[in-house]
């Protein structure tokens, strides 16, 4: 992944002296005034943006910059949280300690979780433009957290994610130009948006529900309790679909 982005944020500096666009902006060029920066917010794994996983050094650099300039670090765990990546929070994969975590979707409510020094007066805050934020939804979220623990779903998400990735790699589909993600946050990339859209549509007709992300990627996000058999079935359908789309494109 570091090589797939030229913005500088995802560039892994192998010399041990990382420089990023953010470091330049905040420090060297003074383009962004740290005293006027309320916070830095990032997704531990990009969701709509295309399931990109940042490098360890990028994440450490962000945390280090936030520390240096005393800027709170907010991680948006709305897609990457609640066990999706094989850890409870996507940020758990990295050596960072966020000040605020935002949670929704799998939690059934929107929740903002912080260290006590960020919101000293508040015990908790649950509200959302996503989900109902009511008592029933809150209970669903709490029971989901319990189920993740009781049924070892973090371990299952990590193992099934690896299985999915390996099976898609073994399928050796020339149309698939990249695979990436963490745990059950898994995406494949195609050469063009047209191919991706054709695969999403045909996969649906073949019985496999997927969703686009980024400009030309397709994501699969099975439930955390997905079984090996279900993963194998999904990859069979995916493989069949991609071969059909490739054949149709060749015939055009």
* H-helix segments, the chain: 21-23, 56-69, 135-150, 153-171, 193-206, 228-251
Question: Of the two residues 26 and 54, which places its CB atom closer to ligand PLP in the complex?
Answer: 54
Question: Of the two residues 2 and 133, which places its CB atom closer to ligand PLP in the complex?
Answer: 133
In whole angstroms, how close is the CB of 109 to ligand PLP at the nearest point? 10
Question: Of the two residues 133 and 222, which places its CB atom closer to ligand PLP in the complex?
Answer: 133
- Residue 188 CA to residue 14 CA, distance in Å, equals 26
Nearest to 106, CA basis, from 180, 201, 183: 183
Question: Of the two residues 20 and 128, which places its CB atom closer to ligand PLP in the complex?
Answer: 128
Q: Are 220 and 234 contacting, i.e. CB atoms less than 8 angstroms apart?
A: yes
Question: Of the two residues 103 and 203, which places its CB atom closer to ligand PLP in the complex?
Answer: 103
Q: Which residues bind ligand PLP (CB under 6 A)?
A: 43, 47-48, 76, 78-79, 104, 110, 128-130
In whole angstroms, how close is the CB of 219 to ligand PLP at the nearest point? 12
In whole angstroms, how close is the CB of 129 to ligand PLP at the nearest point? 4
Q: Are 94 and 44 contacting, i.e. CB atoms less than 8 angstroms apart?
A: yes
N-terminal to C-terminal alpha carbon distance within the chain: 32
- Residue 188 CA to residue 5 CA, distance in Å, equals 16
In whole angstroms, how close is the CB of 141 to ligand PLP at the nearest point? 14
The token pair that represents 155 in the structure block? 């371990």
């Amino acid at each position: 992944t570091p090589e797939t982005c030229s913005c500088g944020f995802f560039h892994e500096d192998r010399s041990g002296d990382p420089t990023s666009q953010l470091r330049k902006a905040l420090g060297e060029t003074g383009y962004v005034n740290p005293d006027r920066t309320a916070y830095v917010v990032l997704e531990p794994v990009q969701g709509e943006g295309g399931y990109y996983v940042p490098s360890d050094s990028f994440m450490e650099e962000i945390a280090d910059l936030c520390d240096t300039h005393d800027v709170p670090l907010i991680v948006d765990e709305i897609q990457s949280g609640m066990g999706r990546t094989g850890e409870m929070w996507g940020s758990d994969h990295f050596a960072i300690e966020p000040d605020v975590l935002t949670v929704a979707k799998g939690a059934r409510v929107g929740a903002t979780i912080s260290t006590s020094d960020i919101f000293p007066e508040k015990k908790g805050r649950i509200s959302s433009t996503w989900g109902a934020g009511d008592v029933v939804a809150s209970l669903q979220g709490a029971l989901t957290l319990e189920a993740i623990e009781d049924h070892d779903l973090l371990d299952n998400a990590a193992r099934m994610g690896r299985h999915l990735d390996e099976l898609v790699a073994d399928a050796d589909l020339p149309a698939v130009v990249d695979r990436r993600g963490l745990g059950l946050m898994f995406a494949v990339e195609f050469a063009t948006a047209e191919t991706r859209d054709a695969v999403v549509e045909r996969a649906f007709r073949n019985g496999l529900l997927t969703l686009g992300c980024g400009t030309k990627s397709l994501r699969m996000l099975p439930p955390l309790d997905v079984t090996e058999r279900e993963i194998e079935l999904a990859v069979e359908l995916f493989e069949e679909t991609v071969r059909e789309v490739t054949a149709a494109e060749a015939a055009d």
